Chains A and B, each alone.
Chain A
């Protein structure tokens, strides 16, 4: 299901070109709008769809297995720190989701790597990556539970 660009929405800002991990979002040579130069190499990561400030990029299913009528669209609202999905099924069912993408204002939780002490020779020779013991909880700290994070489990499926 490769991405495609709504040409009238795109303003050719280049955010999708910048973010595409497959380097297949490029600027068209005739209209200076973004386009997917190689749809078969698109792995549907949705990076460009979420990065597009104009909501100009969409993803479509191939006609043989996803007939017309369905839609999966996403909107990443950086200002509000949320990501929203709207999924329309072919039978008319619609599902809407809203989730946080960050709990702290952007740019406030960037690690100050310059202040971190250099790794010891043992750490360099070890198999763990930077910050792994802490971040994947291999230290002796308490279990990370919903309660510890200030959350509570509810019954049922909630969206």
Chain B
């Protein structure tokens, strides 16, 4: 049980191992780690180094910028190109619906935060306005956890753990457990046609992204 929990934590959570598409996985890793770095450094800057009397080490604001830009890179990549509505259904990237609440408030909040920081650094008068927008965006992001996709940070690890448990106890959620890796199965009459075939046949329909709308 402990080893399954560790595997779930390392493979499924930390490395986003459940994704089948490399692009989606990379975008998720960028956004997830960017957001973690961004949130941690935000908390440090707000609570540990709040005033000029307690200057933050240069690395902290730098990491804040890097984290924010990682969220923007992963988030906008997902938003404009990878999202199933766009990639698999051929809809416009600008078509909004409730499913967009999480990703839109995430990239919106971070983009507004970065814009506010850039404007404030330049001494622009618009900084206060963007700060207000940033606070609204961030409130929407965290205030809608129960109704938005943000909740996947809770249910996805639980589902991944449950999936691994079902494989370990043999029920496998009723999925077939026979594979060609088993020599006994390779000896079956039905498998004779694959006797000389390579064990890795490559990808079939997954060689192409699902984009045939």
Using CB atoms and an 8 Å cutoff, list the residues of chain A in contact with chain B.
8-9, 11-15, 17-19, 26-32, 34, 51, 53-55, 71, 73-75, 77-82, 84-86, 88, 96-107, 149-151, 154, 158-159
| CB proximity of B107 to chain A, nearest CB, Å | 15
- Assess whether B207 is in contact with A77, with CB atoms less than 8 Å apart: no
- Assess whether B163 is in contact with A9, with CB atoms less than 8 Å apart: yes
| CB proximity of A45 to chain B, nearest CB, Å | 14
5 tightest A-B contacts by CB?
A: A14-B88, A18-B210, A84-B176, A8-B159, A53-B20
- Assess whether B194 is in contact with A18, with CB atoms less than 8 Å apart: no
The interface residues of chain A lying within 8 Å CB-to-CB of B88 are 13-15, 17-18, 27
| CB proximity of A17 to chain B, nearest CB, Å | 5
B99: interface (CB < 8 Å): yes
| CB proximity of B33 to chain A, nearest CB, Å | 18
The interface residues of chain A lying within 8 Å CB-to-CB of B207 are 106-107
- Assess whether B197 is in contact with A81, with CB atoms less than 8 Å apart: yes
Interface positions, chain B 174-199, Cβ under 8 Å from A, are: 174-181, 185, 188-194, 197-199
Using CB atoms and an 8 Å cutoff, list the residues of chain B in contact with chain A.
18-21, 24, 83-85, 87-89, 97-99, 149, 155-156, 158-159, 162-163, 173-181, 185, 188-194, 197-207, 210-213
**Closest residue of A by beta carbon distance from B196:** A103
**Closest residue of A by beta carbon distance from B28:** A11
- Assess whether B20 is in contact with A13, with CB atoms less than 8 Å apart: yes
- Assess whether B149 is in contact with A31, with CB atoms less than 8 Å apart: yes
Q: Which of A29, A32, A105 has the most CB of B within 10 A?
A: A32
> Bound state CA distance, A150 and B178, in angstroms?
24
The interface residues of chain A lying within 8 Å CB-to-CB of B89 are 14, 17, 26-27
- Assess whether B83 is in contact with A107, with CB atoms less than 8 Å apart: no
| CB proximity of A22 to chain B, nearest CB, Å | 14
The interface residues of chain B lying within 8 Å CB-to-CB of A31 are 99, 149
| CB proximity of B17 to chain A, nearest CB, Å | 11
- Assess whether B213 is in contact with A17, with CB atoms less than 8 Å apart: yes
> Bound state CA distance, A31 and B176, in angstroms?
28
- Assess whether B20 is in contact with A73, with CB atoms less than 8 Å apart: no
Interface contacts beyond A26-B89, A86-B176, A98-B179: sample of 13 additional A-B pairs, CB < 8 Å, sorted by A: A11-B18, A11-B19, A17-B210, A34-B84, A51-B205, A53-B20, A54-B18, A73-B174, A74-B176, A103-B193, A104-B197, A106-B202, A107-B202
- Assess whether B212 is in contact with A79, with CB atoms less than 8 Å apart: no
- Assess whether B149 is in contact with A32, with CB atoms less than 8 Å apart: yes
> Bound state CA distance, A97 and B176, in angstroms?
8
The interface residues of chain A lying within 8 Å CB-to-CB of B19 are 11
Q: Which of A8, A71, A98, A154 has the most CB of B within 10 A?
A: A98
The interface residues of chain B lying within 8 Å CB-to-CB of A18 are 88, 210-213
Q: Which of A18, A103, A150, A159 has the most CB of B within 10 A?
A: A18
